[in-house]
């Protein structure tokens, strides 16, 4: 019986891994241990991205079929959803309006099954919705009446409240589909579900791997932190500065006072001597 050959993983630096426990990326030939590949797939799918090679800047994508042994039912469903999103043009995408679902469908599929009505049913949850208004089905209202009840002044009020809440919570709005996004962890490179990539810090479109936030972007678009977390900082720092300034003034006053007293003491201690002059001959 021949001994199994050992390999090392460039991600976790494990150097005593059986060769049959290493995963090969077909497109580029890079190899990694199963554990690192599994964790990488989970992170990418949670970030709404199709998993790619683990090597930095390698653009090779992992194969869904070859990664099946790493996937749970949930991860498998998420990967299929990502593949469908990438293959569906932006103008064709229709998302289920129910928050607990948000399943992706295409207009072509919806109108092929429900041709003569704007009332559609989600393929996943079965909920009825209006494809024109992109809201749950308004059963007793036409689209015109629904839009009248949800007129712009009311919507504008909602928009103001939403933007105010977004500023308070530090959210970002996608510049392409206008969806509001909250980053819970990770880097500033954000990929929206519409495919748009932007910087969470400055809000600008992501410039590949060379993106740098400009000074103007930071000044104008800096993402605010939740106010409660920095309120103490806003109060303590100015107070500390005031205390330091007052202390400096007191030191300067005391210093000048000591100099004045010192000069005064010298003048009292050493009065000008009287010099007796002899008779003058003139």
Catalytic site positions:
187
Q: Give dist(CA 35, CA 252) in Å, integer.
A: 66
CA–CA dist 247, 69 (Å, integer) = 68
Which single residue is written with the structure tokens 């390698």? 58
Classify strands 31-33 and 22-24 as parallel, antiparallel or unpaired. antiparallel
Residues with Cβ within 8 Å of 52's Cβ and at least 6 positions away in sequence, in order, are 44, 58, 59, 60, 61, 62
Q: Closest by alpha carbon to 201, among 164, 163, 170? A: 170
Are the C-beta atoms of 98 and 129 separated by less than 8 Å? yes
**Two structure tokens written together for 269:** 């201690």
Among 123, 127, 126, residue whose Cα is nearest residue 135: 127
78 touches 44 (CB < 8 A): no
173: β partners: 180
Q: Which two tokens stand for residue 82?
A: 């990502």
Do 170 and 225 contact (CB within 8 A), yes or no? yes
24 DSSP β-pair partners: 31
């Amino acid at each position: 019986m021949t001994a199994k050959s050992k390999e090392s993983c460039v991600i976790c630096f494990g150097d005593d891994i059986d060769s049959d426990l290493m995963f090969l990326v077909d497109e580029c030939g890079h190899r990694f241990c199963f554990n690192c590949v599994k964790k990488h797939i989970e992170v990418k799918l949670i970030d709404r991205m199709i998993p790619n090679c683990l090597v930095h800047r390698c653009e090779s994508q992992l194969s869904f079929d070859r990664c099946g042994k790493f996937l749970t039912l949930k991860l498998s469903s998420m990967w299929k959803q990502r593949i469908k999103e990438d293959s569906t043009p932006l103008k064709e995408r229709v998302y289920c309006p129910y928050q607990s679902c948000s399943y992706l469908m295409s207009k072509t599929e919806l109108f092929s099954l429900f041709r003569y009505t704007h009332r559609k049913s989600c393929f996943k949850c079965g909920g009825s919705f209006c494809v024109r208004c992109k809201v749950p089905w308004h059963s007793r209202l036409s689209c015109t009446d629904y839009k009248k009840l949800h007129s712009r002044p009311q919507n504008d009020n909602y928009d103001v409240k939403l933007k105010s809440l977004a500023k308070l919570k530090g959210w970002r709005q996608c510049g392409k589909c206008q969806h509001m996004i909250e980053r819970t962890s990770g880097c500033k490179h954000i990929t929206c579900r519409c495919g748009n990539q932007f910087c969470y810090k400055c809000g600008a479109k992501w410039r590949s791997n060379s993106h740098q936030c400009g000074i103007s972007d930071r000044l104008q678009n800096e993402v605010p932190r939740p106010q409660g977390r920095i309120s103490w900082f806003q109060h303590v720092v100015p107070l500390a500065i005031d205390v330091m300034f007052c202390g400096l003034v007191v030191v300067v006053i005391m210093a000048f006072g000591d100099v004045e007293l010192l000069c005064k003491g010298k003048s009292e201690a050493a009065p000008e001597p009287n010099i007796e002059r002899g008779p003058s001959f003139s």
